[in-house]
Amino acid sequence: MLTLGKHDVRFSSYCPQGRAALPPCQYATLPFPTLFTFMIKPTATSTARWAVAALGLLGATACSQSGTTDTGQAGKGQADSSLPQLGKASLKDVLAALTTEEKVKLVVGMGFYPSGFPEGMLPPGDPGDREVPEKVPGAAGRTHAIARLGIPSLTLSDGPAGVRIDPIRGKDSTKTYYATAFPVATLLASSWDTTLVRQVGVAFGSEVRDFGIDVLLAPGMNIHRNPLGGRNFEYYSEDPLVAGSVAAALVGGVQSNGVGTSIKHFAVNNQEFNRMQLNSHVSERALREIYLKGFKIAVQRAQPWTVMSSYNKVNGTYTSESPDLLTELLRKEWGFKGLVMTDWYGGHDAVAQLKAGNDLLEPGTHAQTEAILAGLKSGQLTAAQLDTNAIRVLRLILKSPTFKGVKFTSQPALKANAAVARQAAADGMVLLRNEGAALPLPAGRKVALFGTASYNLIAGGTGSGDVNRAYTISIAQGLSAAGYAVNAPLNQAYTQYLKTEKAKFPKTKNILAPAPVIPEMAPPAAMVQQQAQANDVAVVTLGRSAGEGGDRKVAGDFTLTAAEQALLKQVATAFHAKGKKVVVVLNVGGVTEVASWRGQADAILLAWQPGQEGGYAVADVLSGKANPSGKLATTFPVSYADIPYGADFLGKLLTGTKGGNSFMGAPSENTYSEGIYVGYRYYNTFKKQPAYEFGYGLGYSTFGYGALKLSAASFNGSLTASLAVTNTGKVAGKEVVQLYLSAPAGQLDKPASELKAFAKTKLLAPGESQTLTFTLKPADLASFNTASSSWVADAGTYTVQAGASSLNIKQRATFQLPAALVVEKSRPLLAPQAPVNEMKITRK
């Protein structure tokens, strides 16, 4: 039951498949009129009609089983060959043949009718849409078909770690539609391996294609501004170069299958709380250098077919209604050629969205259709603008597999893709600690496996980032398969405990509710002693889950719970007393506190949320079959208090506003006072020692860095930096080399150093070397000067640093920039409503 104040919504019998529906759950928790009047600017009558209908239906439970057939149809009606047909006639002729109403249909999606929702809970789409069978049940969105002109309906589906659709259609479980759950985005970024990420994209995209989906609603690529961000697992890094490069690789891989992607959520959607009513005040420099830069890289390197605007406002305007963001910057400056769609029910004013360059409104509501028609009538929206938006939809359709008639099997190569998921998972895990060479674990060891997550792996996060997978390999299964003797009585105790705890879960599942937390089991002291006696090593897995609709908390989520602390202490004391090692596996989606407890662990493996093959991948790394080569793409601070403006993360309600509910929140604002000092740019510049710094990660091998050679002593348009990396260890391994640049003091405040390039070596045999070469371009030297709206590189000495992490710099070299450069001239965009008072450091 969800308690929502005035119009409480109670529903106790969600359909078993109801989890496929993400955003609705969000709305399902809202006092309905508040939800609707906020979401879409409707006509007064439509609001009233809607609210009455909805209130009448609140409390109802329904399990509609709709759309269970693979139709792939273009919509009702027949193509009329006497009329211009899409793909045969010119776009101009097709456009001319479309009625105004049809053009409006093209820019408004077909609504959202997931099973398991109380009737009337969601704003309705256009009349009749609901009855059109879904091509792919459980997909998040569709576009309208205009059959007479040969225009088919497109299918859009989540999400960032795998295709999220209904695995069972109707009541027929003889044929299933499970997808591969790949490792979460944060893990992929920690591999720092764009070749690998592209391979993941290729496998992932093959499932998109094989399920008959046109556009994948991923990757998510917002910046990890704060560890508490509930969707951080869906995002890559605190650094825009890593985020942009990894996103570009994934997009390239997915799109190589002839399907589209939607990079999201554009932009500044760095928290869940109040996301639909939050106005973030961010300086233009921080926007350009941190929050938008990754998107720019992904757009320019990979040309995603679509971009998804975000829910929030930036500097006073909803991103989906911002011409500065969607037209001036994205299209004119960056050269984006595709389509922009809203996030589900995002924004407020359909006319403003179309004018801003937000071409497709998803999932689409009838109120939006009415608002657009009214806008055309009143002259607020021109026919030419609607044509521009509609043409972008048509261009997307022309590229789509549905339009091209690509046959789909609904039977992806799950086995082959599982192998890709397993390898990627192992490559993105980060070895944080390995005292006394506790790892790798020699073959055949007897393992005492503690922690509920050891037996119940958290494969990924919740919400639209979840994947309906056929199975999840636990760490217990993975270790057993690798030949370790996982202690049977302990295994049984945990299995029984999990069974009992899971039986207490609510029978119904709200996808936006955080995954139920299973409290850590407290094994009796005698049992722990016995385990220490009977086994060679202890492995303790600590798990975390988070997801769309909420942010994490500091106590007991960023930090360990009291039960986890107690378990760790108990196990460490017992095993260490017997001279046996303790290994902690962190099965988490984001950054957690480690500094207070790491001394009790001999080794710590950050396994992230590694997808369905996670248990095997953990065993691959613990056994040394895979030599860990991941590095942190986001800093692990010592404590939450070290995070700049961490206390202000969620923002505050606007004056005179009363608190809203947990999903919609209430009108509120926050200020990005740290400016460009996000993540390592802050810790390293302000000399705040982190627990584990950006770029950090150990392996079972060691690497030597040869001298850093620059192609010139003076910068003249371009410069290369190269160095040889040698495996000086005893086992084969890969090394991630990071190239940082320190710019001279000049007109602007600058971070101590910034990542400008990175590369991962191939698997180097002991003694083997590889020379890596990096190229620096003028843009890599520049910072954004808001006063002149330009990217400027100051004259002076630049220091290039090749590091194994942002603090472990192995080689340095300098070059001169003889005269300041204006690298790129822009114009003022996205200006804050009032100057943002940002932190600064003045470097000499």
Nearer Cβ to ligand BGC (225/264): 264
Shortest distance (Å) from residue 697 CB to ligand BGC: 29
Nearer Cβ to ligand BGC (217/326): 217
CA distance 371 to 354: 11
383 is written with which tokens? 């026919």
Shortest distance (Å) from residue 345 CB to ligand BGC: 8
CA distance 136 to 402: 12
Nearer Cβ to ligand BGC (35/691): 35
Q: Among 227, 292, 280, 222, which Cα is nearest to 679's?
A: 227
Nearer Cβ to ligand BGC (342/454): 342
CB atoms within 10 A of CB 53: 13
229 is written with which tokens? 């961000």
β-bridge pairing 796-803 and 809-817 = antiparallel
Shortest distance (Å) from residue 506 CB to ligand BGC: 21
Shortest distance (Å) from residue 419 CB to ligand BGC: 27
CA distance 69 to 12: 28
For Cα atoms 391, 394, 396, give the angle at the middle one, nearest 5 degrees: 115
CA distance 303 to 251: 8
CA distance 593 to 604: 12
Nearer Cβ to ligand BGC (196/511): 511
Interface with ligand BGC (CB under 6 A): 22-23, 140, 158, 217, 264, 343-344, 464, 548
Q: Among 49, 67, 59, which Cα is nearest to 7's?
A: 59
CB 158 within 8 A of CB 363: no
CA distance 766 to 183: 29
Shortest distance (Å) from residue 138 CB to ligand BGC: 10
CB 7 within 8 A of CB 494: no
Backbone angles phi, psi at 321, to 5 degrees: -115, 15
Amino acid at 729: G
Q: Among 267, 266, 264, 270, which Cα is nearest to 251's?
A: 264
Backbone angles phi, psi at 623, to 5 degrees: -85, -15
Shortest distance (Å) from residue 614 CB to ligand BGC: 23
Length reported for the chain: 844
Shortest distance (Å) from residue 5 CB to ligand BGC: 22
Nearer Cβ to ligand BGC (347/803): 347
Shortest distance (Å) from residue 266 CB to ligand BGC: 11
Nearer Cβ to ligand BGC (210/343): 343
CA distance 21 to 210: 21
**Cα separation values, 604 from 458, 585, 597, Å:** 17, 6, 11
Nearer Cβ to ligand BGC (204/740): 204
Nearer Cβ to ligand BGC (139/432): 139
Q: Among 516, 596, 512, which Cα is nearest to 551's?
A: 512
Q: What stretches of 524-613 show up as alpha helix (H) in DSSP?
A: 525-534, 562-577
673 is written with which tokens? 């006072």
111 is written with which tokens? 């609504």
Q: What is the 3-state secondary structure (H, E, C) of 225-242?
A: CCCCCCCHHHCCCCCHHH
CA distance 712 to 714: 5
CA distance 686 to 512: 37
CB atoms within 10 A of CB 557: 21
Shortest distance (Å) from residue 67 CB to ligand BGC: 16
Shortest distance (Å) from residue 421 CB to ligand BGC: 21
CA distance 776 to 355: 38
Q: Is 571 helix (H, G, I), strand (E, B) or coil?
A: helix
Q: What stretches of 303-342 show up as alpha helix (H) in DSSP?
A: 323
CB 223 within 8 A of CB 240: yes
The count of C-alpha atoms lying within 13 angstroms of the C-alpha of 822, restricted to the half-sphere facing its C-beta, is 8
Catalytic annotation, residues: 343
Shortest distance (Å) from residue 121 CB to ligand BGC: 15
Nearer Cβ to ligand BGC (546/571): 546
577 is written with which tokens? 């007393």
